[in-house]
Structure 1
Amino acid sequence: MKNRLSDLNNHLFMQLERLGNEDLSPEQIETEATRSEAVVSVADQIIRNADLQLKAAKLIADHGGHMVRHLPMIEGKARDDEKA
């Protein structure tokens, strides 16, 4: 699996196709429905994380780099005042 939002979109559509497979038995449909719930739950968290990153980028774009010091982390690095 890759780690891009476009890959997530592909996985969601693949799961939708599996749910629409008319050759599935009732048990297989139930299994796919359960899998779909798990996929949607994880996808929701990924989307929320991407939205938060976008909001942070917009904050910096709108208000300048001085806003970085108000963010707990940027680019996976701790703020200068949080370093040991």
Structure 2
Amino acid sequence: MKNSIQDLNNHLFAQIERLSDEAMTAEDIEKEVKRAGALVSVADQITGNAELQLKAAKLYADHGEKVLGHLPQIGKSAS
């Protein structure tokens, strides 16, 4: 499965469109609000993870290989 920050943006904007649907009943709106809350929670985790990866990349760019021992090994299974 491949997803990107752009995919996340698309999902968030689609949710905004669903919440803006004036034809929804009160029950439909309540369901969408719960769904939106769950989507935002997941989006926060994804963006937090991306921010952490960016910080690790900046640390590596600023200090080189000497910091590698302090960074998690992304893409490698723990043994």
- State TM-score, norm by structure 2: 0.91
SS of residue paired to 2:49: helix
Aligned to 1:29: 29
SS of residue paired to 1:69: helix
Q: Please report how far the alpha carbon of residue 75 of structure 1 lies from its aligned counterpart in structure 2 after TM superposition.
A: 2.8
- Root-mean-square deviation over aligned CA pairs: 1.7
Aligned to 1:65: 65
1:74 correspondence with 2:77: no
Provide structure 2 residue ranges, at least 5 long, that are not aligned to the other structure: none
What whole-Å deviation, never above 9, does each CA across 1:62-82 have from its counterpart, x for those lacking one?
Answer: 0011211111x233226xxxx
Q: Please report how far the alpha carbon of residue 56 of structure 1 lies from its aligned counterpart in structure 2 after TM superposition.
A: 0.3
The alignment covers a number of residue pairs equal to 79
Q: Which has the higher strand share?
A: 1
Cα distance between partner residues in 1 of 2:61 and 2:2: 28
- State TM-score, norm by structure 1: 0.86
Cα distance between partner residues in 2 of 1:19 and 1:8: 17
Provide structure 1 residue ranges, at least 5 long, that are not aligned to the other structure: none
After the TM superposition, which parts of structure 1 deviate over 6 Å for at least 4 consecutive aligned residues? none
Q: Please report how far the alpha carbon of residue 2 of structure 1 lies from its aligned counterpart in structure 2 after TM superposition.
A: 4.4
SS of residue paired to 1:3: coil
Higher-RCO chain (CA-CA 8 Å, sequence separation at least 6):
2
